[in-house]
A and B are shown apart, each in its own frame.
Chain A
Amino acid sequence: MTGAAVWVTGVGAVTPGGWSAAETWASVVAGVSRGRVIERFDLCDAPTRAGALVPGRERELPEHRSLVLELGRVAAQEAVEHAGLADAGLDLAVVANHGDKRVPAGRDARVMRIDDLTAAIAEPVGARRRLATHGACAAGSLAVVWGTELIRDGQARTVLAGATDSALNGYDFFQFCNLHGMSERDCPPEEASCPFDRRRDGYLLGEGAGFLVLEDEDHARARGADPLAVVEGVGSSQNAHHFVALPPDAGGPIRAMRAALDDARLPAEDVGYVNAHGTSTPDNDWCETRALHEVFGTHARRLAVSSTKSTLGHATTAAGAVEAVICVEALRDGTAPPTVNLHEPDPRCDLDYVPHQPRELPAGRVLSNSFGFGGHCASLVLGRAA
């Protein structure tokens, strides 16, 4: 085992906010929702009309290429170049995804398999080994958890960890309609995602990719690399309750956050900002609020908590990784991004959600939450680079 810390030495992202981590960060800080009417495919009679799509790909999917792969490759390349490892390569790439599928209607029903997609992202950035993981909407965060643990265990010194996904295609989208988890409100598309608001009725489906280069501190120092942030704690847990619903006692999210804080050996009061899972579903937002109260006690009311899904939508498998990138940028910039569209707060959601405008990042660490279908829960504690 290595006793050195795990640094973040590179980040990359492609989201509805833009084709880089910097563009993504600028977009969330500006507080402009990327929700729009979906024009990429025929919505038929779908009750949901809004989505958040990456710029330049709003109107069509490439015919025989994978958009999910394109997003992942761009974000991964950015992260590796940012880390200064484009020539050296990396020991390992942990890439979460759920493959890339299309409509099974006499055409190619599958574009890419999970492991093939992972390989196609890992190989161009010089990753010598790869892991293809799947933890649904917690997968991006879980990739960071596993990358961190494998570095601590001495299995790797440099890890590209993250995820890529797009469910905004004429197959996955209709399956999500089947669950009635997306917003079906009759409202402008940019208002569809309103986390912690009493009018919320579901998420704004998004897409994107996010990657962090995780690096053993000693290895980074030896090559003269500076940290962007430090991964101070990671935690994961299982709801063991239902395939898609959160448990009413918020047990899974509570355990994940406590595990991350225990791993960081930090008291809860050392966290100043929480990037919430904050999907804008009726259940998640109050459940996560309850969990925050349980974990942080009286300190919960001093936290700044925001949901960047209010601007970027929910990138499903990639969400946790994108939000980890956002947390790194928040630490670097000293800014807490806002929750937008929060005009009628739900009385059951009674914390400070940084409504409408960004503000100075509170002192202390940042914590990022992700919860996914299948009961997966993951939390990350990130600290400022010294």
Chain B
Amino acid sequence: MSAGGDLAARPTAGDGAGLTAAVTTADLPADLRAAARAAGAPRQVARFLDGMALPAFVAGTAALDAAGVTDGERCGAFTVSGWDPDVHPPDLGGEPTTYEAVARHYITTASPMTWLRKMVNNALCQLALVRGLRGPNNHVVGGPEALAAVLTLGARAVATGVADQVLVVAFDAPAGQESVHEVDGRACAVVLGPIAALGATAPVRRDAGRPAGADGVRHGGRAVDALDALIDAAAPTVAPPPQGNL
């Protein structure tokens, strides 16, 4: 949510859920394609994993593995990103991208995959497909405040029994490239689970995800940085990704 007046503190459902696993941006391997294959992405999913969806997919599957989530039937998935790509002229093989040429391209020859994978909910869809995540789900466009809302709603879903776990993935393009159509991004992920059942720690606070301390500028105002910071703060008590799985 955008910056605004603070709400008065009151108990929230978030007090009943916590982080059970986390994967930071630094945890991701250099070869994300190989990691995605190892994580079970079939070819039809791999085609959809562009520079933004790929790190989100790897981070999300790794977090689920770290949390021991093998059955996604009651696992929710929320993604948050400030990435919102510009419209990009299709490649017409040297032909000028006139109105008529672009229209004809989409009517007759384009593969839907080329533009579907630029929908900002693409990463969420591919994660759900591969891991069978069938719980509550949604994508939010924004930064740390959007992340805070996502963590609040994810924690609530767990605390009220709507979901057994909720995967939250933050992914972003490099600063200043939020509108770039083809760009390599970064991602991190957490899994929220019930404190009582799993011994999860680091309860998710309502303001979780906001830049810590006064040096918020250091985090660049992006959701991925805010989630990285949250994970760092909870590091001693949250399950890291299994070694060798990334």
Contact = CB atoms under 8 A, between A and B. Distances in A.
Interface stretch (A40-48, A213-221, A223-231, A350-358): A40-48
Interface string A155-169: 110000000000000
Interface stretch (B60-68, B111-119, B185-193, B237-245): B111-119
A175 B119 CA distance: 12
B134 A240 contact: yes
B86 A243 contact: no
Contacts, number: 197
Nearest to A106: B97
Chain A interface: which size bin?
Answer: 35 or more
B222 interface: no
A376 to B, nearest CB: 6
A177 to B, nearest CB: 5
B197 interface: no
B104 A45 contact: yes
A154 B10 contact: yes
Interface stretch (B27-35, B125-133, B210-218, B226-234): B125-133
Interface in A133-177: 133-136, 142, 145-146, 149-150, 152-156, 170-171, 174-175, 177
Interface stretch (A75-83, A108-116, A280-288): A108-116
Interface residues of B, number: 65
Contact of A134 (B102, B110, B139, B152): B139
B133 to A, nearest CB: 6
A338 to B, nearest CB: 31
A146 B2 CA distance: 15
B137 A236 contact: yes
B195 interface: no
Contacts of A131: 1, 140, 142, 146, 149
Contact of A103 (B102, B112, B134, B152): B102
Given A128-B4, A154-B10, A44 B103 contact: yes
B179 interface: yes
- The residue in A149, A152, A243 that gathers the most chain B C-beta atoms within 10 A of its C-beta is A243
Nearest to B109: A178
B134 A133 contact: no
Interface string A98-111: 11011111100110
Contacts of B125: 243, 373-375
A306 to B, nearest CB: 26
A252 interface: yes
B51 interface: no
Nearest to A96: B138
- The residue in B121, B129, B138 that gathers the most chain A C-beta atoms within 10 A of its C-beta is B138
A152 B128 CA distance: 27
Contacts of A146: 138, 149, 153
Contact of B99 (A105, A130, A240): A105
B149 A150 contact: yes
B87 interface: yes
A121 to B, nearest CB: 12
B141 A133 contact: yes
A251 B136 CA distance: 13
B184 interface: no
Contacts of B11: 1, 154
B4 A104 contact: no
Contact of A1 (B13, B101, B122): B13
Contacts of A179: 112
A240 B4 contact: no
Nearest to B145: A129
B137 to A, nearest CB: 5
A106 B98 CA distance: 8
Nearest to B131: A240
B153 A149 contact: yes
Contacts of B5: 128
A44 B107 contact: yes
A113 B153 contact: no
Given A128-B5, A236-B137, A114 B84 contact: yes
Given A45-B107, A170-B103, A114 B128 contact: no
Contact of B87 (A110, A115, A375): A110
A147 to B, nearest CB: 11
Contacts of B140: 131-134
Nearest to A179: B112
Given A44-B100, A155-B12, A251 B107 contact: no
8 contacts: A91-B7, A106-B97, A110-B179, A129-B3, A135-B139, A150-B149, A178-B115, A376-B121
- Which A-B residue pairs are the 10 nearest by beta carbons? A174-B106, A129-B1, A109-B87, A374-B125, A104-B89, A128-B4, A129-B4, A374-B121, A44-B103, A132-B141
Given A174-B107, A374-B125, 10 more contacts: A110-B179, A114-B141, A115-B142, A131-B146, A135-B121, A239-B128, A243-B116, A243-B125, A252-B134, A374-B122
